[in-house]
Structure 1
Amino acid sequence: MKMQSKITPTKKTLSPYKILILGGTSDARRLATSLINSQIAVIYSIAGLVRTPDLACQIHIGGFSQYGGMQHYLKDQDIQCVLDATHPFAVNISNKAQQACSLCQTQYIRFERPQWNQYPNDKWTSIIQWSEVFGALKHQKNVFLTAGQTPHDILVKLSKQTKNLFLRTAVQPKEALPNNVNWIKAIGPFDQVSEQQWLKDNQIDLIISKNSGGQATYGKIAAARELGIDVIMFQRPAILHVPSDQSFAFNTLDQCIEHICNLNGSIYEH
């Protein structure tokens, strides 16, 4: 996959093609808004678990199995470009998207949000799978679990090793939670000041998080640094990179937008 960094200005043009955005993140919504404002035809795809964004484009909710797979959807909808702006830990959809694009010879673009860096005062324990969490637990009493949807058996096991477990997610768990698990429904962004106060009020002594990157949820990490709180940090899983001349990755939103607008302009000229 080619990594691009140079940004060159381009003018708005009427779009002669359609782009499918795999969304569900704040970055994806910003990308969609910018491309729509650039008069590019956008289909915005989400799983539909949390909320439907208010975007001036076609919204696709749910998966692609009803079409026989994403590759068939790309052909049926005459999609010329797929922009993958899903969560860095949503590896399944990203892998499927690359494979579908390869089969259809459709350009695949991935926005790879830069991950958080560890600073000297950060008290991180880096892990890659849930089995490592339990070995990393010490004698913490009040644990803040903010790592997205967590398997129920993991929640049960964690609850047995802590006095209080605070679980913050956008979607309520489907199964009943143990008595010492406090579920908090919340959707970012979360600022550092509020996060720091919440951590102090609840006497949190451990945070379990994913290295999601971005600013929307970084407040808890910065707050943990200030308060000297331990963090168990999931490192990002590897995403399949299908070798292709039509596969690109960018680490800023501007780079994605400029690349797509330039593509749109070159196709329009022909």
Structure 2
Amino acid sequence: MRALILGGTAHARQVAQLLKDAGWRVTSSLAGRVKNPKLPVGEVRIGGFGGPAGLARYLIDEAIEVVIDATHPFAERISVSAAEATRAVGVPLIALHRPGWSEGPGDKWIRVDSMQEAAQRVARDYHHIFLTIGRQQLAPFAADEHNLYVIRCVDPPRVELPARHRLIYSRGPFSVDEEKRLMRGNQIDCLVTKDSGGEMTRPKLDAARALGIDVVMVNRPTLPGGSRITVVSTPAEALEAIDKL
């Protein structure tokens, strides 16, 4: 039995372990954007497939029986490719989409629908901005010549950056106390993040709430649906769904 897992998230690694323990032959596909990613058990391939057609060919050539899309909630391109490819070749797709975050008492969130909207908002209203959005979508903030941006990412960015910026190369998870020290030390008055969900990266939100810092939250893109897609929110639910197929 062969399964293809898309994504290098913690949930993807957990699913890989669960399937391997259940006797599946597992291949995990990583985008290759991080220099030294944490690798899951089983076989690993790095890089894209060449769009939906390339992925469909791979599913046929490798006799894949189920695909688990455990990519980051904002990796919309590969999610669309997975939906189209699995529909074309008749392979079931399990979409492991962890729930997004919900605003609670004391939170000061401003929800926006795009990174461009986030960049316009923070350039106008804030002065010391903490960007925790990875390195792929920093370009919209480059036009701001006046405010300071503290940018945390794993690998060096390859896009133009704001004139005033500080780069922090670090890989989480981080504790609430660590996040509070970083925000205080850099006089942060706004945090920009994506609605990724999950507990691993939530401490930055808890720290912002404790310090009374505003959060500009970029909403998730709409992901594909369909009759052959089963949506689950945890690795255990993904395994249950596969068992039922």
Taking structure 2 as the reference length, the TM-score comes to 0.92
Work out which of the residue numbers 192, 202, 214 in structure 2 matches 1:230: 214
Shift of 1:121: 1.1
Matched with 2:90 is: 105
Matched, 1:96 2:81: yes
Q: SS at the partner of 1:79?
A: coil
Structure 1 stretches lacking a partner, 5+ long: 1-16, 264-270
Q: Which residue of 2 aligns with 1:33?
A: 17
Pairwise CA distance, 1:52: 4.0
Amino acid in the other structure paired with 1:145:
L
Determine if contact 1:67/1:73 at 8 Å carries over to the other structure: no
1:29-87 deviations in whole A, cap 9, x for unaligned? 11112221222110000011213434331111101129961000000000010000000
Q: What's the counterpart of residue 253 of structure 1?
A: 235
CA deviation vs aligned residue, 1:220-263 (integer Å, no higher than 9, x gap)? 0011011100111001110121x32x320001221112222454
Cα shift at 1:183: 1.3
Structure 1 residue 182 displacement after superposition: 1.1
1:142 paired residue number: 128
Aligned residue runs from structure 1 range 187-198, under 5 A: 187-198=171-182
Determine which of 21, 24, 28 is the counterpart of 1:44.
Answer: 28
Q: Does the aligned pair in 2 maintain the 1:22–1:44 contact within 8 Å?
A: yes
Conservation of the 8 A alpha-carbon contact between 1:20 and 1:79:
yes
Picking from 140, 163, 177, the partner of 1:154 is 140
Any idea what SS the aligned residue of 2:33 has?
Answer: coil
Distance 1:151 1:211, change over 3 A: closer
The 8 Å contact of residues 154 and 170 in structure 2, kept in 1 or not, is answered as: yes
Asked whether the 8 Å contact 1:21–1:43 carries over to 2, the reply is yes
2:70 alignment partner in structure 1:
85
2:142 partner SS: helix
Scaled by the length of structure 1, the TM-score of the pair is 0.84
Change (3 A) 1:84 1:67: closer
Larger relative CO (CA 8 A, sep 6+): 1 or 2?
1
Amino acid at match of 2:235: L
Larger Rg: 1
| Equivalent position SS for 1:222 | helix
SS in structure 1 of the partner of residue 150 of structure 2? strand
Deviates more, 1:134-143 or 1:222-231: 134-143
- Secondary structure at the aligned position of 1:69 is classed as helix
Kept in 2: contact 1:125–1:136 (CA 8 A): no
Question: How far 1:151 moved relative to its partner?
Answer: 4.1
Which of 188, 197, 204 is residue 213 of structure 1 equivalent to?
A: 197
- Between the two proteins, the alignment pairs up a number of residues equal to 243
Paired residue type of 2:43: Q
CA distance in 1, matches of 2:203, 2:51: 39
Aligned partner of 1:259: which letter?
A
Distance 1:110 1:146 in 2: 25
Q: Give, in whole Å, the separation in 1 of the partners of 2:137 and 2:99.
A: 26
Q: Could you tell me which residue of structure 2 aligns to residue 117 of structure 1?
A: 102
Amino acid at match of 1:141: H
Write the letter of the residue equivalent to 1:95: V
